[in-house]
Structure 1
Amino acid sequence: MLHNDPIAALTPQVVEWRHHIHANPELGFQEYETARFVADKLRTFGLDAVHEGIGGTGVVGVLRGRPGVRAIGLRAELDALPVLEKTGLPYASKKDGVMHACGHDGHIAMLLGAAKLLADNRAFDGTVCFIFQPAEENEGGAMRMIEDGLFERFPVEAVYAVHNWPGLPLGKIAARAGSMMAAVDTFELNFEGTGAHAAMPQLGDDPVLAAGAFVQAVQRIVSRSVDPEMALVVSITQIHGGNVGNIVPGKVWLQGTCRFFEPTLSDHCESLIGDIAQGIASAHALTAKLAYKKGYPPLVNTSAATDRAVQAATAVVGREQVETAFNPSLGCEDFAYMVREAGGCYALVGAGAVRPGEGLHGDRYVFNDAIVPTVLRYFVTLVEQTLSDAERLSARSRRISRGS
């Protein structure tokens, strides 16, 4: 520990906040106690304003430093997942079937820590907006906040976020300009016909056979309808049909997801999934009904914000520990809406090695508290570098040199 290092001194308290949040998880748009905890903390830190109820349960804290017209946003997610925790931790979830299995508890606590550090010092010019958004996992809480006037009420030149990343070596920070996370669409499909006794299948139709044929045939979208160098994943995630062992059911329901970076693949997948489903239904004398839902867009980091993020990360962990050349993830993230609206950068923070069942969304996932001081330093450095007097004067000099 560095002598009189405020980040090192604050880290144990940030970890304590995380453990409290972890023990009391709440699902999307139900994060009432979590939002209250966040708002109360922000007020005790002495922020200039704390706004609640944005986009449902969202919270925005506003902190002003030295005089300046510029503003940036820092964002964390409030929601947990419908997962039954099996970690055995002393601070494990107190709610059966609800768990912070993605690390949002850590993201909340670290952003609170950054807010306290910056409020204690205010060594920056302009404004920082601390954005705590609801319902990242499935319900699109970022878009709800935007629709509720997030960036009209709190205009920023860019918004930044981090995500802990099991599997990335501990101590590394990864950020790339351009595509960072994939778009995601989901679909539901019903094959329906006439059920029959399992011993007399000729008296009915068999949607189970149709479902099996569809699972195989739908993969031709990836293997035969797009350029092999174009990233696309089509996965079937659920199949349900029947409830007894001696009856062929009259209906089978399937659910799946499509992940991609190229936005035109959304319409492409919807069209071909529908064609394949109808063709298989016709061949099996069934009806098919498809419900295709377009989800989060791809998360595309903007160049200027990524440059600033990399500069801050380099100051914190050293250039050799900052990754900028890597393949984007086919995971999805509704922070994409905020970056699309305001520009920004999403960075991954290495959480170290991970074993089966202990990764993101696993029931034995454990957030690595060792990353806390790194992220605190990253956020503080990012704000102080971006909203610096030198940067403001440099921008003014450039305007003067252009004669503007």
Structure 2
Amino acid sequence: MSKHAEATIQTKKQLLEMLESRKDEMIEIRRHLHANPELSFKEEKTAQYIANFYKGKDVDIQTNVGNGYGIIVTIQGGKRGKTIGLRADFDALPIHEETDVPFKSKNEGVMHACGHDGHTAYMLVLADCLIQMKASIAGTIKIIHQHAEETPPGGAKSIVESGTLDDLDAVFGTHLFPTHPVGTIGHRGGYAMAGRTYFKLVIQGTGGHGSMPQNSNDPIVAGAHFVTAVQTVVSRRLNPFEMGVVTIGSFDGKGSFNIIKDSIEIEGDVRYMNDKTQQVIDEEIHRIVSGIELQFGVICELTYTADYPPLYNDPEVTAEVVSVLGNANDPDIKEVVEFPVFSGSEDFAYYSEKVPGTFFFIGCKPEGVEKVYLNHHPKFDINEDALLVSAKAVAHVVCNYYDVE
């Protein structure tokens, strides 16, 4: 074995040992963040906590990146080389927490119900370890502490548009999921998570008395037709082998029982796995709306906004990550498995649109529970052993990507 290979192995060993020794710190940070959650675009104190963590460290820190409280921390290695990005999000959700933990949310109606507290906790400790070892890294690492993943337009798109990541050669991200036990790492090459579009339809009719419908144009009848018609988009306009979902989440037609309303509002979302499917659904919904105007004599105002694109994991980058983690011989990484496509959305997709990258999943199923509550549930919880697994998994990827010595 060459001296360089021996040095690389030793560097990785040192990094992993540093992470293992700081597991309790990761848990402590996660619990602090969990107790003090902040909603998307309102994460002022969380961002300050993150910035304070890096004070006095030999790194470049950029705050307020993008359209909110995004933070980019640049770790310049001891030698020239490629540049990669490591992303962790830090916003919470408008959910009243129902877990029974001593570090329960102190902010009423706000909860870290998706694991972003855990993402930030492991990333802070991993980043600090990499800073201490940066002389051994031939390249640059950009730690992306991203705000507002949960609420469109999100933080990722604006961070990409800021130009701060224009020099990236690759980008990596992880997400905690309680569907699998700790030690399981999930991957999916190609399209892995769905894109999402929000829509709102305002139907303006002509109100009147229920006893004289001939003098009105009833927007509820028109709206009911829309609800039925849009369900045919997926069943009759998409290839059966393509994934598409149209959901009506709100139908605001509340009024008096004997009055024909003047207007109503309908809101919903659309999910799809590629741009072609998105275009088909887009065109069909607009066509249905135009037809409703003609058929019912109403005026329709359709807001149709694409929020997050489908998340595409570069197949070559993903395969390399799978190989690295599958052969890591790490006791904390027990299995690396292919996950199914998720119909949920993730604005990490904006990073992987710009540069090759992959977004993989970390099992965090709590021990000893009869029922597992998924992300965004008021009783969502994680097994905190998954924080070390997250940190070590990304560390393996970093050490493989860089020429360390």
TM-score by length of 2: 0.87
Give the alignment of 1:215-254 within 5 angstroms. Answer: 215-254=227-266
Q: Counterpart of 1:399?
A: none
SS of 1:295's partner is strand
Q: 1:124 aligns with which of 132, 137, 140?
A: 137
C-alpha distance in structure 2 between counterparts of 1:226 and 1:88, whole Å: 45
Q: CA deviation at 1:249?
A: 2.3
Code of the residue aligned with 1:147 in structure 2: it is E
Gaps of 5+ in 2: 1-12
**1:98–1:319 CA distance, 2 compared to 1 (3 A):** closer
Code of the residue aligned with 1:336 in structure 2: it is A
What is the aligned-residue identity percentage? 33
Code of the residue aligned with 1:159 in structure 2: it is V
- On the 8 A contact 1:80/1:98 being kept in 2, the answer is yes
Give the alignment of 1:4-403 within 5 angstroms. Answer: 5-44=17-56, 46-55=57-66, 56-122=68-134, 123-137=136-150, 138-152=152-166, 155-198=167-210, 201=213, 203-314=215-326, 315=328, 316=330, 321-324=335-338, 326-352=339-365, 358-389=373-404
1:289-311 deviation line (CA, Å, top 9, x unaligned): 21111221111111332133223
- On the 8 A contact 1:183/1:295 being kept in 2, the answer is yes
1:311-333 deviation line (CA, Å, top 9, x unaligned): 33221469971123x43211111
C-alpha distance in structure 2 between counterparts of 1:109 and 1:35, whole Å: 13
Code of the residue aligned with 1:373 in structure 2: it is L
C-alpha distance in structure 1 between counterparts of 2:174 and 2:275, whole Å: 24
Gaps of 5+ in 1: 391-404
Code of the residue aligned with 1:306 in structure 2: it is T
**1:89–1:319 CA distance, 2 compared to 1 (3 A):** closer
- On the 8 A contact 1:357/1:363 being kept in 2, the answer is no
- On the 8 A contact 2:365/2:372 being kept in 1, the answer is no
C-alpha distance in structure 2 between counterparts of 1:8 and 1:200, whole Å: 75
**1:356–1:284 CA distance, 2 compared to 1 (3 A):** farther
SS of 1:351's partner is strand
C-alpha distance in structure 1 between counterparts of 2:96 and 2:388, whole Å: 29
Code of the residue aligned with 2:84 in structure 1: it is I
**1:267–1:5 CA distance, 2 compared to 1 (3 A):** closer
Q: CA deviation at 1:236?
A: 1.0
- On the 8 A contact 2:181/2:363 being kept in 1, the answer is yes
RMSD between superposed Cα atoms in Å: 2.5
- On the 8 A contact 1:25/1:79 being kept in 2, the answer is yes
C-alpha distance in structure 1 between counterparts of 2:296 and 2:185, whole Å: 52
C-alpha distance in structure 1 between counterparts of 2:127 and 2:207, whole Å: 60
1:243-272 deviation line (CA, Å, top 9, x unaligned): 445534221211111111120222221221
SS of 2:378's partner is coil
TM-score by length of 1: 0.88
Q: CA deviation at 1:342?
A: 1.8
SS of 1:188's partner is strand
Q: Counterpart of 2:8?
A: none
- On the 8 A contact 1:278/1:287 being kept in 2, the answer is no
Q: Counterpart of 1:397?
A: none
